[in-house]
Chain A
């Protein structure tokens, strides 16, 4: 059940981002809920699990997008690795920690994605719009992270997302 939910979270995120959220964008900017869930996973489960989960979620997103496969996979895996690397030094139960982590992760992930997209020539016409979009997305992700993390954290320690061995 845990694994099914871990799959359904990015699946639902892509479904909502491609339909409902496109009508609730902030100045044309959408949130990245897949990244938010990857960051939560890495924050609670550490670098190794986070990297694998980030890679798989990013790969799933890449396959859905149908452009360069591997760009999202690598950027999300690396972001999750960084979050997981520092996760045992922070108070995970503090919502502020989750918010700051999501904010910084959105910047890091966007920066990585941007350089990979440039490297693969998947993006031309670079301008200030990109920077504005990243700032808006960081704020959007951080706001959405508040209710989502409250549920995710509880679920990871007491609910459906708790690893089987710990029940």
Chain B
């Protein structure tokens, strides 16, 4: 019995891997059975949250409103300035004949988070959009705050998004200000901390520097916020540095995400142009 179990398990492990193109019929079926149930539990939790907030102290609520109103005013002013800068950037880009790679040039599809990984080893989210809505494996996923991860597998009605905090995920990153330092962001299974490795020892990296995606990997577009540098330490070799990065996205509280459906990595675009020529 034990030998049979071991052999069967190893056979299954041999036949399956995360790199496979699509998930099997059984996995698809199980996920689609769970999806409406998880959506239902999520709705219940939301409704309960609504009831709880009504029961909250009025004073606390009015304080929250005041804080939000103040924040809203500040954001409106910031938005005005940014709109001006964007218009200027567009004008300058057209003068230089530059191809825009900012986020507004991508097609975004919003999705609701319906569940999270049920174990401690993997870090992923399950969203309520799947192959029916055009989601495909490998699509980058973001939130208004920054980079979330990448679609790992897709079923008809849902998709699994591997978070950048997952132990298997790595993202090419640069420092937003200096644009000099290239490194790799790794997940360590911790929602509150990422690690940036392979930073050259001469890098001008310092505490509180913002880190964004470099666009060098074919997986993620360039310029998406990842996090802020918290600690810098030398790697054992002495030639490289590594840094603790605090992610800008609160992965534990994510309720909605945006999937970049129209992203084509630079190589693919180049390849297509080559084949056209």
Asked whether B167 lies within 8 Å of A123 as measured between CB atoms, the reply is: yes
The answer to whether the Cβ of A48 comes within 8 Å of any Cβ in the partner chain is: yes
Q: A65-B119, A65-B122 are in contact. Are A123 and B168 (CB under 8 A)?
A: yes
Is A117 within 8 A of B30, CB to CB?
no
Q: Is the CB of A69 within 8 A of B5?
A: no
Are B18 and A73 interface neighbours, CB within 8 A?
A: no
In chain A, residues 22-39, which have Cβ atoms closer than 8 Å to a Cβ of chain B?
A: 22-23, 25, 28-30, 32
* Known contacts A19-B41, A125-B187; A74 and B9 CB within 8 A of each other: yes
Residues of B with C-beta under 8 A to A62: 12
Does A73 contact B45, Cβ atoms closer than 8 Å? no
B168, A60: Cβ atoms closer than 8 Å: no
| B 88-121 to A, binary, CB cutoff 8 A, 1 in contact else 0 | 0000000000000000000000000011111111
Q: Is the CB of B38 within 8 A of A116?
A: no
Q: Distance (Å) between the CB of A118 and the closest chain B CB?
A: 11
Whether the pair B168, A124 counts as a contact (CB closer than 8 A) is: yes
Q: In whole angstroms, what is the CA distance A22 to B192 when docked?
A: 15
B118→A70 contact, CB < 8 A: no
How many A residues have CB within 8 A of the partner chain? Answer: 53
Contact among B15, B16, B34 with A64 in the assembled complex (CB-CB below 8 Å): B34
Centre residue among B6, B121, B190, B195 by max chain A CB count within 10 A: B121
Whether B11 contacts A129 by the Cβ 8 Å rule is: no
Residue B9 contacts which of A20, A55, A123 (CB distance < 8 angstroms)? A55
Tell me if B2 is interfacial: C-beta within 8 Å of chain A.
Answer: yes
Contact A28 B16 (CB under 8 A): no
Q: Give the residues in chain A near B168, CB-CB below 8 Å.
A: 122-124
Chain A residue at minimal CB-CB distance from B189: A129
How far is A113 from B13 in the complex, measured between Cα atoms in Å?
12
Q: Which residue in A16, A19, A29, A66 is a CB contact (below 8 Å) of B160?
A: A66
A112 to B5, CA, bound (A): 14
Q: Which of chain B's residues have a CB closer than 8 A to the CB of A111?
A: none
User: Please, which residues of chain B bring their CB within 8 A of the CB of A113?
Assistant: 121
B114 contacts across to A, CB distance below 8 A: 19
- The majority secondary structure among interface residues of chain A is helix
For A117, give its contact among B12, B38, B121, B192 (CB under 8 Å): B121
Is A17 engaged at the interface, CB distance under 8 Å to the other chain?
yes
CB-based contact B42/A19 at 8 Å:
yes
A120 beta carbon closer than 8 Å to chain B: yes
Q: How far is the CA of A63 from the CA of B192 in the complex (A)?
A: 28
- CB-CB < 8 A to A28: which residues of B? 120, 190-192, 252
What residues of B have a CB within 8 angstroms of the CB of A51 in the complex? 1-2, 5
Q: Is the CB of B5 within 8 A of A63?
A: no
> Does B18 lie within 8 Å of A67, measured CB to CB?
yes
B43 to chain A, nearest CB (A): 10
* A69 CB to nearest chain B CB (Å): 4
- Bound: A124/B16 CA distance, A: 18
Q: At the interface, yes or no: A18 with Cβ under 8 Å from chain B?
A: yes
Please give, as numbers and ranges, the residues of chain A lying within 8 Å of B24 by CB-CB distance.
Answer: 63, 69
Contact with A along B116-130 (1 / 0, CB 8 A): 111111100010000
Question: Residue A133 contacts which of B12, B38, B152, B189 (CB distance < 8 angstroms)?
Answer: B189
Instruction: Contact check, A68 vs B122: say whether CB atoms are below 8 A apart.
Output: no
Question: Which of B1, B2, B18, B189 has a CB less than 8 Å from the CB of A122?
Answer: B18
B275 cross-chain contacts in A, Cβ below 8 A? none
Asked whether A17 lies within 8 Å of B119 as measured between CB atoms, the reply is yes
Can you list 11 A-B contacts with CB-CB less than 8 angstroms, sorted by A residue number? A18-B116, A18-B126, A28-B190, A61-B118, A61-B119, A64-B31, A68-B16, A69-B12, A74-B13, A127-B188, A129-B189
